[in-house]
């Protein structure tokens, strides 16, 4: 049920630093059973405004009115050009991407690494050259699957009269592609009206590219922004007019700040635009200087950008909202009196009954009605959840 986000990019762009920073959580925040699932799979968080503040409640689950909700993050092995043909870690990389719902494409915005990730002087490599190649690798990998199975798929579509979007969705189910996504890609390419037997290779590549875009949307993390020449950041930002979402960030600074916070030197929450030094007398001048430099970056960029990337993926690209189920709608608690015990990430468009199913299958099946805890209004099973809703669910079970 959890959302899986893949961190992808060429070697040395900062994926592992991003991963380390984003999965290094304070014990108070880390209400997830384990923070590192596998060495490269960890738990990170999106940040949302918890309703506790507006309701004047004390909520043990959030920090100063900020709620951190778990998502899973995957540090994907470095990708090199021609991976789809087996270069580098090749298909291991691509296999890792299968389950991801979205990608954070980490770019070395400083231009200090070449296309294969070798270190070069800062400013000498054009980071724009790194954008396309990741996309091409994934697209060509998907095209490879389509091409390899083309005869089988054609036969299926011809013989059984199965709808082409169902045939495609079935083939790519392991990549999280359903028939709605397949239909969209077929419509946009116009291939919905052309029998699969007659598809050309360029058409299949175009279809694969659209399937990729739809099933693995991405944000661009313009990383190492702390050392990047300003013109590089401007160029990357310029991609937004082509529909990309580009976020300047510094995984290095985020990691340093989270470390400083976990050691009690500073007060800082992931996503904050500033921090406070707790015990200035415990810091030497060099440490203070380093912190002030980082503060400058935060002020200029509205934070380190790391939390922004995660929030943008979940709330922007994937269209999730947050819903808070409660059992006691007058106190906003569960049965034991815990205030706002759960925060669920759920797709925009989901209904009160969908939320009931998230709480428990049985509760979904025996759903009677919901109650909006703020207004005490009754809600039917088809009520469309709004972001930040607090809902009591009544069921026969």
Ligand X SMILES: Nc1nc2c(ncn2[C@@H]2O[C@H](COP(=O)(O)OP(=O)(O)O)[C@@H](O)[C@H]2O)c(=O)[nH]1
- Binding footprint of ligand X on the chain (CB under 6 A): 9, 11-17, 78, 223-224, 226-227, 250-252
Positive/negative CA dihedral, 287, 289, 290, 291: positive
Q: With CB under 5 A as the contact rule, which of the stretches 15-23, 25-33, 223-231, 273-281 interacts with Mg ion?
A: 15-23
Measured in degrees and rounded to the nearest 5, phi and psi for residue 80 equal -120, 160
Residue 43 C-beta: closest distance to Mg ion, Å: 18
Indicate which of ligand X, Mg ion, none lies near residue 354 (CB less than 5 to 8 Å, by partner kind).
none
Indicate which of Mg ion, ligand X, none lies near residue 17 (CB less than 5 to 8 Å, by partner kind).
ligand X
Residue 253 C-beta: closest distance to ligand X, Å: 6
Residue 108 C-beta: closest distance to Mg ion, Å: 12
Q: Which of 226, 236, 212 is nearest to 257 (CA)?
A: 226
Residue 175 C-beta: closest distance to Mg ion, Å: 23
Which residues touch 380 (CB under 8 Å, ≥6 apart)? 352, 369, 370
Please identify, using beta-carbon distances, which residue of 15 and 258 lies nearer to ligand X.
15
CB 251 within 8 A of CB 17: yes
Please identify, using beta-carbon distances, which residue of 15 and 47 lies nearer to Mg ion.
15
Indicate which of Mg ion, ligand X, none lies near residue 100 (CB less than 5 to 8 Å, by partner kind).
none
Cβ-in-10-Å burial (0-12, 13-18, 19+) of 63 comes to middle
Please identify, using beta-carbon distances, which residue of 7 and 391 lies nearer to ligand X.
7
Please identify, using beta-carbon distances, which residue of 265 and 297 lies nearer to ligand X.
297
Q: Which residues of 342-360 are buried (b: 16+ CB within 10 A; e: fewer)?
A: ebbbbeeebbbbbbbbbbe
Does position 16 interact with Mg ion (CB under 5 A)? The reply is yes
Please identify, using beta-carbon distances, which residue of 15 and 67 lies nearer to Mg ion.
15
Cβ-in-10-Å burial (0-12, 13-18, 19+) of 137 comes to buried
Indicate which of Mg ion, ligand X, none lies near residue 252 (CB less than 5 to 8 Å, by partner kind).
ligand X
**Distance set, CA 394 to CA 138, 330, 334, 372, 377 (Å):** 45, 14, 13, 11, 13
Residue 15 C-beta: closest distance to Mg ion, Å: 5
What is the number of other CB atoms lying within 10 angstroms of the CB of residue 280? 11
Q: Per the structure block, which two tokens stand in for 188?
A: 């946009």
**Distance set, CA 266 to CA 113, 274, 288 (Å):** 32, 10, 11
Residue 289 C-beta: closest distance to ligand X, Å: 16
Q: Would you give the DSSP letter of residue 242?
A: G
Indicate which of Mg ion, ligand X, none lies near residue 329 (CB less than 5 to 8 Å, by partner kind).
none
Please identify, using beta-carbon distances, which residue of 115 and 197 lies nearer to ligand X.
115
Q: Per the structure block, which two tokens stand in for 330?
A: 């007058």
> How many chain residues are in contact with Mg ion, going by CB under 5 A?
2
Please identify, using beta-carbon distances, which residue of 97 and 346 lies nearer to ligand X.
97
Indicate the SS3 state at residue 55: coil
Measured from each CB, the residue nearest to Mg ion is: 16
Please identify, using beta-carbon distances, which residue of 101 and 250 lies nearer to ligand X.
250
Indicate which of ligand X, Mg ion, none lies near residue 223 (CB less than 5 to 8 Å, by partner kind).
ligand X
Q: With CB under 5 A as the contact rule, which of the stretches 16-24, 118-126, 198-206, 349-357 interacts with Mg ion?
A: 16-24
Q: How far apart are CA 379 and CA 38, in angstroms?
A: 41
Residue 256 C-beta: closest distance to ligand X, Å: 9
Residue 250 C-beta: closest distance to Mg ion, Å: 16
- Contacts with Mg ion in 160-179 (CB under 5 A)? none
Name the residues that contact Mg ion, by CB under 5 A: 15-16
């Amino acid at each position: 049920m959890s959302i899986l986000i893949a961190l992808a990019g060429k070697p040395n762009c900062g994926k592992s630093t991003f991963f380390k920073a984003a999965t290094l959580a304070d014990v108070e925040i880390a209400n997830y059973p384990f923070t590192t699932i596998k060495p490269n799979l960890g738990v990170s968080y999106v940040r949302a405004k918890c309703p506790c503040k507006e309701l004047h409640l004390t909520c043990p689950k959030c920090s100063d009115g900020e709620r951190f909700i778990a998502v899973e993050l995957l540090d994907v092995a470095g990708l090199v050009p021609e991976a789809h043909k087996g270069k580098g870690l090749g298909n291991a990389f691509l296999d890792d991407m299968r389950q991801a719902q979205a990608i954070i494409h980490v770019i070395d915005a400083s231009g200090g690494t070449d296309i294969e990730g070798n270190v070069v002087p800062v400013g000498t490599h054009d980071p724009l050259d790194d954008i396309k190649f990741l996309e091409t690798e994934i697209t060509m990998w998907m095209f490879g699957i389509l091409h390899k199975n083309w005869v089988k798929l054609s036969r299926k579509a011809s013989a059984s009269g199965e709808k082409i979007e169902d045939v495609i969705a079935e083939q790519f189910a392991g990549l999280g592609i359903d028939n709605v996504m397949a239909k969209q890609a077929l419509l946009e390419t116009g291939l919905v009206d052309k029998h699969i037997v007659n598809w050309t290779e360029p058409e299949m590549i175009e279809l694969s590219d659209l399937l990729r875009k739809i099933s693995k949307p991405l944000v661009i993390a313009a990383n190492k922004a702390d050392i990047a020449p300003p013109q590089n950041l401007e160029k990357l930002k310029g991609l937004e007019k082509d529909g990309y979402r580009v976020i300047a960030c510094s995984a290095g600074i985020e990691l340093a700040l989270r470390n400083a916070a976990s050691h009690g030197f500073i007060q800082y929450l992931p996503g904050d635009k500033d921090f406070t030094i707790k015990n200035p007398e415990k810091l030497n001048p060099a440490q203070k200087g380093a912190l002030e430099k980082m503060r400058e970056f935060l002020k200029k960029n509205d934070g380190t950008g790391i939390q922004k990337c995660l929030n943008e993926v979940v709330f922007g690209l994937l269209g999730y909202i947050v819903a808070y189920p409660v059992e006691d709608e007058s106190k906003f608690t569960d049965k034991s009196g815990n205030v706002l015990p759960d925060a669920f990430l759920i797709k925009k468009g989901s209904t009160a009954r969908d939320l009931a199913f998230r709480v428990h299958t049985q509760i979904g099946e025996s759903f009677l009605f919901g109650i909006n805890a703020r207004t005490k209004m009754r809600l039917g099973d088809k009520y469309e959840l709004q972001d930040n809703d607090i809902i009591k669910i009544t069921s026969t079970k």
